[in-house]
Amino acid sequence: MKKISICIADDHELIREGLIRLLSDFEELDVRFAVANGTELMERLNGATLTDVILLDIDMPVKNGVDTLKEIRKKYGNKTKVLGLSIHEEYYIVQNFLLLGANGFISKANNATDILKAIQTVVDIDFYLSPTISKILFTNSKYKQDLEDRLLNAVEKDIIKLVCQQKNNKQIGAQLKLSPNTVSAYRTKILEKTDTINAAGLAIFAVRYGIYRL
């Protein structure tokens, strides 16, 4: 079984060391390195050390998580998954981080098993929100707008709903009687139409426009 490689960026040494210790206990994970800020992270990331998943704290000195995420997406595109880490769970913070291209968001208050699940889920389906974060997003977003100019058809809306339920392409295809490749093609077109970067951003869009509700 191929291990999922991860790295950690968090300015609190106790949290950083705690995450290393806890996550290293999982045989599914390969913890490559940990750094204290975004500048150190970008210095360590290159073609040889780009990990499958980055656990990225939002509040860090020198270079914070928001600026670091922007640089990661500009330099590496979607070649790596980014999970936001924070003690803050305010709606605008979570939404902004996801819209900038993070694949998910998890609170530092979550236990190691929850973090493992988040890591595995973003690798598998590109998108993870904990139940707590989902509730914050889906109960606070009141923005609605006419979707006619987006030209989303019924199948595309059904796919968006299933993406929000954290289904992968195979599961979506089975439910809608489409091949996984066809689902993948639909999803690429959907991202273009909605002007979103990944599944996490698409979930925000779906909530904003009333396509998906809890």
Tokens of 23: 């996550």
pTM of the model: 0.74
Question: How many of the other CB atoms lie within 10 Å of CB of 36?
Answer: 18
CA atoms in the 13 A half-sphere facing the CB of 26: 22
Average pLDDT over residues 77-104: 84
Q: Where are the domains of the chain?
A: 4-130, 141-208
Radius of gyration of the chain, Cα coordinates, nearest whole angstrom: 17
Q: How far apart are CA 139 and CA 113, in angstroms?
A: 26
Whether 153 shows a pLDDT value over 70: the answer reads yes
- CATH number, span 4-130: 3.40.50.2300
Which of 21, 86, 195 lies closest to 104 in space, CA to CA? 86
Query: Do residues 117 and 92 touch, judged by C-beta distance below 8 A?
Result: no
- Give residue 139's pLDDT band: very low, low, confident or very high (50, 70, 90): low
| Residue pLDDT, tens place only, 26-76 | 999 999 999 999 999 999 987 667 899 999 998 888 899 899 999 999 999
- CATH number, span 141-208: 1.10.10.10
The residues, ordered by sequence, that sit 6+ positions from 116 with a Cβ below 8 Å of its Cβ are: 23, 26, 28, 29
User: Which residue has tokens 């973003």?
Assistant: 122
Distances (CA, A) of 119 to 5, 104, 107, 129, 144: 10, 9, 13, 11, 31
